[in-house]
């Protein structure tokens, strides 16, 4: 009766069966011995028919814990003889993708690893962090190999820091599905070429990419122009306004040297006015009233004008208004904002494209906090492959169910 209960719980079917159950209370260990019916024949992928058993080896698989007790399956595993006289080891249907684990155990690791660091998962399941990481890395690679990217038309590309200093990784995401498709080291034009090759390997011709949103990095611009010939480049308004905000803060810091009233106004100048507290909004209004004498006030007004222009959707109107805005700024004495005007002039077509495509990297920027958490989650593992694995776990929306029917659904 006990054997039948465990067979039902484990999902074991003919020709496999539970031979015995050994429970060691002191060691908190449950060992389930699994055997197959004598005379059974087994199929082998890539070879027709079923084949006789040549000999057997005993393999041990870690399974889900039995209450608080660690559970192992000891399986008398057959090696079958093929018509060409070669011998092949049979993998039971419950065996996982990494040696030594069952599919259910690996599914639990995947579920936990999406929510917590490898070290925490390792403590929960009673395995080393390296083994936990190896399971996740294996599943991510298998899922990426099987990925079909033939429907991708629009990309969002951004970079994030991998470590302190100038160590970066580039991420590319499907702008429509908002899922990370590609991660690689560096942030130069070669990373875009590597992305184009990876797309082609997964069924998406580089000519099929219709639009790409990037920042104003010359390397990215060059890479997209060369590797994705049909892609329309979009510089979303958030990047443009970020440059304007930087110019406002730079102007404030310069003017603050002689006017101490600007001290403490940084966030009031950078936030949307509607989100300010009444006291901060009043201080901002007092500053704007000094428009003719304070360059910081003029810089803020130019920034807000630029934001308003980028809210419009008529391409010709946006282009004309941007050109007029640039002319006005270049005639002013607000030097940091002149740098923004020059930037807008150099990239005006990509900025104007925003009016039509409304394509943005905003969701990648929002995920940047998760990517930074990914570095902490992979603490102690310095390889790029580990950081890459964690990023795909949290933002790749990978479907592992074709690899493991017990795996969690993509989020």
pLDDT in tens, 135-150: 999 999 999 999 999 9
- What DSSP line would sit under 282-329, residue for residue? HHHHHHHTTTTT-HHHHHHHHHHHHHHHTT---HHHHHHHHHHHHHHH
pLDDT on residue 375: 63
Instruction: Give domain status of residue 386, yes or no.
Output: no
Domain boundary among 94, 120, 143: 143
Domain count, the chain: 3
pLDDT of 382 higher than 70: no
Same domain, 218 and 366: yes
Question: pLDDT band at 377, cuts 50/70/90?
Answer: low
Same domain, 365 and 230: yes
pLDDT of 275 higher than 60: yes
Instruction: Give domain status of residue 201, yes or no.
Output: yes
How many angstroms separate the CA atoms of 96 and 16, rounded?
16
pLDDT of 362 higher than 80: no
Same domain, 73 and 180: no
pLDDT on residue 26: 87
Same domain, 24 and 168: no
pLDDT on residue 201: 94
pLDDT on residue 1: 57
Same domain, 11 and 133: yes
Whether 338 and 332 have beta carbons less than 8 Å apart is answered as yes
Same domain, 231 and 246: no
> Average of pLDDT values for 5-34?
87
Instruction: Give domain status of residue 387, yes or no.
Output: no
Whether 393 and 179 have beta carbons less than 8 Å apart is answered as no
Same domain, 204 and 216: yes
How many angstroms separate the CA atoms of 277 and 275, rounded?
7
pLDDT in tens, 337-347: 999 999 999 99
Instruction: Give domain status of residue 95, yes or no.
Output: yes
How many angstroms separate the CA atoms of 98 and 126, rounded?
16
pLDDT of 274 higher than 60: yes
Same domain, 57 and 99: yes
pLDDT on residue 11: 80
Same domain, 281 and 315: yes
Cross-strand pairs, 17: 35
Domain boundary among 305, 335, 352: 352
Question: pLDDT band at 325, cuts 50/70/90?
Answer: very high
Instruction: Give domain status of residue 383, yes or no.
Output: no
Domain boundary among 123, 143, 163: 143
Same domain, 226 and 268: no
Same domain, 227 and 242: no
Instruction: Give domain status of residue 394, yes or no.
Output: no
Instruction: Give domain status of residue 219, yes or no.
Output: yes
DSSP annotation of 207: G
DSSP annotation of 104: H
Whole-structure pTM value = 0.83
pLDDT on residue 164: 60
Instruction: Give domain status of residue 171, yes or no.
Output: yes
pLDDT in tens, 384-403: 888 889 889 888 899 999 99
> Average of pLDDT values for 192-198?
94
> Average of pLDDT values for 118-130?
90
Please calculate the CA angle 2-5-10 and round it to the nearest 5 degrees: 125
The domain that holds 165 is classified in CATH as 3.30.420.10
Domain that holds residue 198: 154-235+361-377
- What DSSP line would sit under 80-99, residue for residue? EEPTTS-EEEPPPTTB-SST
What contacts 244, CB < 8 A, 6 or more positions away?
A: 302, 303, 306, 307, 337, 340
Same domain, 224 and 369: yes
């Amino acid at each position: 009766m006990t054997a039948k209960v465990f067979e039902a719980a484990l999902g074991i079917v003919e020709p496999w069966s539970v031979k015995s159950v050994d429970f060691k209370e002191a060691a908190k260990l449950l060992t389930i011995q699994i055997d197959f019916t004598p005379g059974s024949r087994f199929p082998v992928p890539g070879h027709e028919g079923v084949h006789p058993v040549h000999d057997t080896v005993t393999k041990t698989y870690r399974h889900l814990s039995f209450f608080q007790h660690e559970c192992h399956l000891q399986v008398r595993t057959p090696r079958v003889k093929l018509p060409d006289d070669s011998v092949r080891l049979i993998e039971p249907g419950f065996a996982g993708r990494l040696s030594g684990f069952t599919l259910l155990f690996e599914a639990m690791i995947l579920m936990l690893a999406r929510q917590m660091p490898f070290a925490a998962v390792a403590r929960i399941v009673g395995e080393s962090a390296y083994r936990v990481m190896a399971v996740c890395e294996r599943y991510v690679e298998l899922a990426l190999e099987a990925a079909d990217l033939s429907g991708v038309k629009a990309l969002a590309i951004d970079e994030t820091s991998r470590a302190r200093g100038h160590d970066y990784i580039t991420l590319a995401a499907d702008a429509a599905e908002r899922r990370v498709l590609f991660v690689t080291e560096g942030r130069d034009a070669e990373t875009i070429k590597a992305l184009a090759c990876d797309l082609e390997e997964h069924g998406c011709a580089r000519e099929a990419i219709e639009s790409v949103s990037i920042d104003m990095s010359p390397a990215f611009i060059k890479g997209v122009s060369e590797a994705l010939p049909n892609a329309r480049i979009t510089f979303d308004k958030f990047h443009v306004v970020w440059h304007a905000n930087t110019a406002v803060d730079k102007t404030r810091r310069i003017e603050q040297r002689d006017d101490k009233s600007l001290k403490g106004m940084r966030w009031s100048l950078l936030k949307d006015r509607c989100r300010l507290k009444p006291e901060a909004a009043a201080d901002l209004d007092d500053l704007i009233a000094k428009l003719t004498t304070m360059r910081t006030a003029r810089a803020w007004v130019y920034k807000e004008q630029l934001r308003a222009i980028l809210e419009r959707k008529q391409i010709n109107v946006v282009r004309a208004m941007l050109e007029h805005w640039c002319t006005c700024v270049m005639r002013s004495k607000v030097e940091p904002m002149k740098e923004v005007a020059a930037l807008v002039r150099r990239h005006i077509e990509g900025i104007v494209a925003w009016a039509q495509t409304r394509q943005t990297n905003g969701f990648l920027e929002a995920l940047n906090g998760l990517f930074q958490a990914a570095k902490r989650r992979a603490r102690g593992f310095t390889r790029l492959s580990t950081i890459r694995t964690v990023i795909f776990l949290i933002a790749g929306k990978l479907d592992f169910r074709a690899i493991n029917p017990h795996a969690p659904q993509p989020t």
